[in-house]
Structure 1
Amino acid sequence: MTDMTRSLHLSNVRLADGQRVSVSVADGRIVALGPQAAAQPGVPVEDGGGALLLPGFVEGHTHVDKSNWGRPWYRNEVGPRLIDRIDNEREWRKTSGHDAAAQSLALSRAFVQAGTTRLRTHVDVDTDAGLRYLEGVLGTRQTMRDVLDMQIVAFPQSGMLVRPGTTELLGRALAEGADVLGALDPALIDGDPVASLNETFDLAQRYRKPIDIHLHEPGEVGAFTLKLLLDRVEAMGMQGQVVVSHAFCLGALPERARDVLLERIAHLRVAILTSAPASVPVPPLMTCRDKGITIFGGNDGIRDTWSPYGVPDMLERAMLIGLRYDLRRDDDLAIAFDCVSDAAARGCGFADYGLRAGARADLVLVDAETVAHAVVSRPKRKLVVANGRIVARDGELIDVL
């Protein structure tokens, strides 16, 4: 029997190429998309009014457990070093009453309201908090499960080797529901890139989980760590199962040395995540794409103790990617959107994604002439459909959660 709560017919909408189509949805899946797609008997019909149809957005890298979204302003007086930010955040979270469950739910709802239907979040696991933050985000994932496909990365934000007991906690996190194993700066934080990467890959193999590593390490240090990581990907047969987040070193190396690394990254099917920050080197977007590397986008932290910036709107992140990489042509701005849609779904391994029959019905309508126009103007979401259910209309979340 058809689930009528996850079935609808969306008429009079436009694809990116300008074609006017209808979309037939049943049981949360797209069953037909095209000019001749017919409404099924008894299914609610929505007139799209000629709006642009986009797939649900994908957030490839964020930290929903530590956000201050919706809370009073946090006064940021932290020092300039990475370790300053780590220590400041750990202490603040212990003493401020910050609730990872409540904050992750508030931010996840805001993501859905703005059209995000797939999301990868890193969640802190350390010897101070144990699995408390993970438990809060697991609760949010359960609450949002019908409308938000959430992947959880067990992330050692304070380091792994430098805080004995963290490895065991990461193993427990993976056993209790985390989807991906995180890691952080094996040289500059853990102080021993060989031992740190060995521990990370052994743990991933033991629990049969993919890896998503934060690699902030600059220049030659980052390149050395990246080479070690790629050696392990190859030796342990983890092609297509590793994401390198940030990868600042790829934006700072001489072109010849960089391209040698990029060739190996492409060969081993390692994906690259960038938040396209304005203040540090970034991996070369177009060169990565030309070499067949999946490079995709994410917000990183949103309104937390690390940074006051960020909003849960992937059209804005696409715009910031466009600005950082000087994307001006309409076809180039479509690439910026790809970073928060198809490329992000591939990079994170989200299945059944896109505007095609058989895919999960995650749809966004905006009043924009083209994809480039949508990225630049970031219009109010006219309609958001998640897993076949209308969850937001005219920029407002419908009370379905």
Structure 2
Amino acid sequence: MKAYWLTNVTLDSGYVHEDGRLEGTETALYDIRIKDGVIEELQVAQSMPLKTDLPVQDAKRLLALPPFKEMHNHLDKTYLGLPWKSCTPVPNLTERLKLEAAELAELARTGQHRAEHMLQLLLQGGATHVRTHVNIDPYIGLKNLEEIQKALDSFGGKMTHEIVAFPQHGLLRTNSTGLMRQAMKAGASIVGGLDPGGIDRNIEASLYEMMNLAAEFEADIDIHLHDPGHLGFYTIKKLVSLIEEAGWKNRAAISHAFALGDVSVEETLEMADEMASLGIAIMSTVPINRVMPPIDVLHEKGVHVALGCDGFYDSWSPFGTGDMLEKAGRLAERYKWKDEYALSQSLQFITGGIRTLDRNGNRLWPKVGDAASMVLVEASCSAEAVARRSRRAAVISDGSLIFGGLSRETELTYN
């Protein structure tokens, strides 16, 4: 890739303090020299035109934010690209799984088509990475995995990805260990799991099976845990002990983990310390219809928390936008993070932990040597972008424009 200058880029540059209080965010215009997908130089923009022999692209004062990461999605489930269809009501999770199983074979035929529609939606919202769970079950074998791999390949150079082999209908319940093993050999990179108590009805055996698969393939773990209360909390305790025993530090994530919001504060604090020491992450969708783990407490204790949109426009939910900035805004609303500092810092939950500024107002991102990947938005600073879900004008990945254009009039549309 040839080198070029991206000029007139607005960056967070510090905080404004008045009467001892943090009242706002300072920003400044920068010119950024990019070569081979990497930031090679950052300099404060001058009033005079830049003197250079390199191509110049004017960002027109758009604010740059770190690229977003969608860390919990189900590309194989979406109805995007198909005619509108709402959800069929069911009384419980087991019945929902039965309903899903009945349509798997039909949906598998359009897997790539539907997934590509979802990927485009995520991308235009600013996500350049997706972690997708893919059903691995006896109903359609590896068909979903094959379709999703084709879709992800078609977005090569635009989005990076991780694929979780996900036993949606129960690892033990559907005797899917052999299929999971095939999926890992076929390109899945993370071993998934699902409600060892509520679905598999054998917590210890289900967790052991999942951990054994992870050890066999030297793979990370991401387990969906919806089970509430002390059932879910016991499952987390057992999983933590297995992770410690196996030495799987910094290699496991628990998606949803609703039980952490059901038990006492003392139990949650103690568990947060253990999770932080083992590098166990929490993947949350910031639900509005149920108790969720106390993300504020977990974060303060050093637990890595990331957000995702989960399944939407599918048999599980007709709602959603695929907009990670909206997720960050919802999280801020949920915890009443209304001040300048809290709003700007909430970005880290959708960027893989990257922040633009530290508490003292020192710029953390971007720096020379960073990948030239960013989301250009119509906002004065990152706090405004989160609070107002500011319009994405363009997305750049490794120096290449992959969505939109560098104009404040660019509309963000949803397919």
TM-score (ref. length: structure 2): 0.88
Could you tell me which residue of structure 2 aligns to residue 29 of structure 1? 38
Q: Tell me the SS of whatever aligns to 1:66.
A: coil
Residue 230 (structure 2) aligns with:
220
Q: Secondary structure at the match of 2:42?
A: strand
Structure 2 match to 1:185: 195
Equivalent in the alignment of 1:348: none
SS of 1:101's partner is helix
**Where do 5+ consecutive residues of structure 2 fail to align?**
14-26, 356-363
The reply to whether residue 109 of structure 1 matches residue 115 of structure 2 is: no
Instruction: Kindly provide the amino acid, as one letter, of the partner of residue 73 in structure 2.
Output: T
1:76 and 1:305 in contact (8 A); partners too? yes
Q: Is the 8 A contact 2:378 2:393 kept in 1?
A: yes
**Which segment is superposed worse, 69-78 or 251-260?**
69-78
Match of 2:8 in 1: 12
Label 1:219 to 1:333 Cα distance change in 2 as closer, same or farther (>3 A). Answer: same
Q: Within 2, Cα distance between the matches of 1:318 and 1:312?
A: 12
Partner of 1:271: 281
CA gap of 1:384–1:195, structure 2 versus 1, over 3 A, is same
Change in CA separation of 1:271 and 1:96 when aligned onto 2, cut-off 3 Å: closer
Q: Select 2:336's aligned residue among 321, 326, 329.
A: 326
Amino acid at match of 2:4: L
Q: 2:324 is matched with which residue: 299, 314, 320?
A: 314
Shift of the alpha carbon at 1:40? 10
Question: Quick one: which amino acid aligns to residue 90 of structure 2?
Answer: G
Who is 1:350 aligned against? Answer: none
Cα gap change, 1:35/1:226 in structure 2, threshold over 3 Å: closer, same or farther?
same
**Equivalent residues of 1:159, 1:184 under 8 A apart:** yes
SS at match of 1:281: coil
Confirm or deny: 8 A CA contact 1:78 1:84 kept in the other structure.
Answer: no
The verdict on how the C-alpha distance between 1:309 and 1:238 changes in structure 2, with shifts beyond 3 A counting, is same
Matches within 5 A, 1:1-400: 3-4=1-2, 7-17=3-13, 18-35=27-44, 43-95=54-106, 99-164=110-175, 166-343=176-353, 355-392=366-403, 393=405, 394-395=410-411
AA matched with 2:11: L
Percent identity for Structure 1 against Structure 2: 32
Give the Cα–Cα distance (whole angstroms) in 2 for the partners of residues 372 and 103 of structure 1: 34
CA shift for structure 1 position 374? 1.0
Contact 2:108/2:147 (CA < 8 Å) preserved in 1?
A: no
- What is the one-letter code of the residue matched to 2:10? R
Q: Deviations over 1:281-328 (max 9, x none)?
A: 111122111111111111111211100111121111112222222322
Bigger shift: residues 148-157 or 80-89: 80-89
SS of equivalent residue, structure 1 residue 10: strand
C-alpha distance in 1, partners of 2:221/2:371? 25
Deviations 1:224-259 (A, max 9, x none): 000010001100000100011111011111111111
Give the secondary-structure state (helix, strand or coil) at the position aligned to 1:343: coil
Structure 1 unaligned blocks of 5 or more: 346-352
Q: TM-score, normalised by structure 1?
A: 0.91
Kept in 2, the 8 Å contact 1:59–1:120? The answer is yes
1:357, distance to aligned residue in structure 2 (A): 2.4
Q: Name the aligned partner's letter for residue 257 of structure 1.
A: E
Q: Which amino acid aligns with 1:368?
A: A
Cα offsets for 1:102-136 (capped at 9, x unmatched): 11111112211222111111111101010000001
CA shift at 1:19, angstroms? 2.7
Equivalent pair of 1:155/1:181 in contact (CA under 8 Å): yes
